[in-house]
Amino acid sequence: MMLDSPFTTRHQVARAKLGFARWLLPVADLFALALGAAAAPVFLPAVGPKSSVIASLLPIAIMVLLYAHAKLHYLQGPFEGVISRFRFIIAPALTISLTVLAAAGLKEAVHVIVHGQDSLEPAAGFTIAWILSAGIIGAVLRQLAWFALVSLRNPTNLTSRVAIVGAGPIGSQLAQIINRHFTSELRIVGIYDERLTRVPKVVEDHAVSSMDALIGAVHRNEVDKILVALPLSAEERLLSLLQTLKTLPVDVSLIPDNLGLRLMGTGEHAKQGLDSILLNILRRPLSVEDLAVKRAFDILASAALLLFFAPVMIAVGLAVVFTSAGPVFFRQPRAGLNDKVFHVLKFRTMYVEQSDLLARQQTRRNDPRITRIGHFLRKTSIDELPQLINVLLGDMSLVGPRPHATGMQIDGRLCQEVLREYAHRHRVKPGITGWAQVCGLRGAVDDPALLTQRIERDIYYIDHWSLGFDLKILLLTLPEVLRSRNAF
């Protein structure tokens, strides 16, 4: 399964697979619990089938195990640190076994309270057989998962790639500490500073580069986290820097000056990890797990929708060809994740000779450039259906900020010149539909106030993303399309 766009690095794919693993492990433990109940008579044939006991105990055991997964960290396994076999295999197996025992105890307690102690259920023999079988099956499944995760956990795949901002004494000391204590977790990809004429040219074998170089590295998916190594007293410089960094889809953390570095260099804090000292000030919009879930949903849903709408798309394609000269699809460069340019696909709704690839002149009501069938396609949003292909390829998502043409202008100015927060929308993939669209802000953006309203809703979506929020937006999209507000 393709987890992201064709430009995804091996590092990102490995981390996305870990995201899936985090979701699959509780499923595997639940499977071991259920299979253990079915396998209990195999371990102890004398206990015989106990279908009524299974029916009464299994729901309780499932709830107990799900609660344990929510509370006990070792059940998920320390993916990005040193994976211990005991913590990852034996301890979860014991937890699965204790889950059965806890469920049996709860069932027995309820039975005693309600019916007294005249008949004891579940049978002790069956409970013991279930504990043994579920524990063994859980251990075997975790053993298989352990080998799979260790194969993913090699330095080139899972070591977090960090960029240090600040080539002064704090940045130099930070680089030394990372190289001394955290090479199994972190790999320095570069050191950057906006004052190249006032800092050393090389720090810890890394050539110091400009902030523009850092932004380029983030856009090329070469950085996972930015560590800001500047003195806290430099408030104006820090605020200006954070204003730039908050438009990037990566985590940003601040080093708490020399005191924090001295603590970081001690053995105790080195064991606890770098995050025990860092001040995390900016978070990437979606975690690895969120990205994996969102991408999986995009792949499955877009493939299903393409199959469902295939007859409509074929009919529309023929209608476009027969009503005006030119290609079926209109391919327009638009800004996507990390401000990367991709070509969005739409059914062509304008005459070829009047098409505006850079969208310098936005579409207006009764626009003479639009073909006869184009008016209908745009009003019903059918012209957007080919973007399901963009979603399947990984350039877009079903839900996200709508992608704008790279040259789109408002009052003769580019969007990023009109609104400083405009770049924030490029921290996630663009979508076919979005929160702004279902809030009635659909269609052309020809006014700075309208652009501000759209960006505010795009940023709200990014800051509050969840799969449930995506589903809500998709459900609200259909009535919005039927209303045809601002669509022309």
Q: Annotate 259-298 with DSSP letters as a single string.
A: HHHHHHTSHHHHHH-GGGT-EEEE--SS-HHHHHHHHHHH
Residue 18 CB coordination number (10 Å): 20
Q: Would you state the pLDDT for residue 265? A: 53
Taking the alpha carbons of 472, 478, 484, 487 in that order, is the dihedral positive or negative?
positive
Residue reference for tokens 């090389």: 202
Higher pLDDT, 399 or 449: 399
Confidence band of 95 (pLDDT split at 50, 70, 90): confident
Taking the alpha carbons of 282, 288, 290, 291 in that order, is the dihedral positive or negative?
positive
Confidence band of 2 (pLDDT split at 50, 70, 90): very low
Q: Which helix (H) or strand (E) holds 43?
A: helix 10-43
pLDDT tens for residues 120-147?
555 677 777 878 888 888 888 877 777 7
Q: Would you state the pLDDT for residue 296? A: 85
Higher pLDDT, 406 or 460: 460
Mean pLDDT calculated for residue range 144-162 = 66
pLDDT tens for residues 256-278?
766 556 655 555 555 455 666 67
Confidence band of 358 (pLDDT split at 50, 70, 90): low
Mean pLDDT calculated for residue range 316-335 = 88
Q: Would you state the pLDDT for residue 469? A: 93
Strands in 251-254's sheet, in edge-to-edge order, are 202-203, 206-209, 186-192, 160-165, 225-228, 251-254, 279-282
d(CA 323, CA 336): 32
Among the ranges given (45-59, 92-106, 221-235, 388-402), the one the predictor scored with the smallest mean pLDDT: 45-59
Q: What kind of fold does domain 159-284 have according to CATH?
A: Rossmann fold (3.40.50)
Higher pLDDT, 6 or 131: 131
pLDDT tens for residues 210-242?
998 998 888 888 888 899 988 877 888 888 888
Amino acid letter, 474: L
Q: Where in the chain is the domain with CATH 3.40.50.720?
A: 159-284
Q: Would you state the pLDDT for residue 433? A: 92
Among the ranges given (18-22, 69-73, 127-131), the one the predictor scored with the smallest mean pLDDT: 18-22
Q: What is the pTM of this model?
A: 0.64
Residue 190 CB coordination number (10 Å): 18
Tell me: cis bond preceding 333? Omega within 30 of 0 counts. no
Burial of 406 (0-12, 13-18, 19+ CB in 10 A): middle
Q: Would you state the pLDDT for residue 6? A: 35
Mean pLDDT calculated for residue range 429-446 = 84
d(CA 216, CA 219): 5
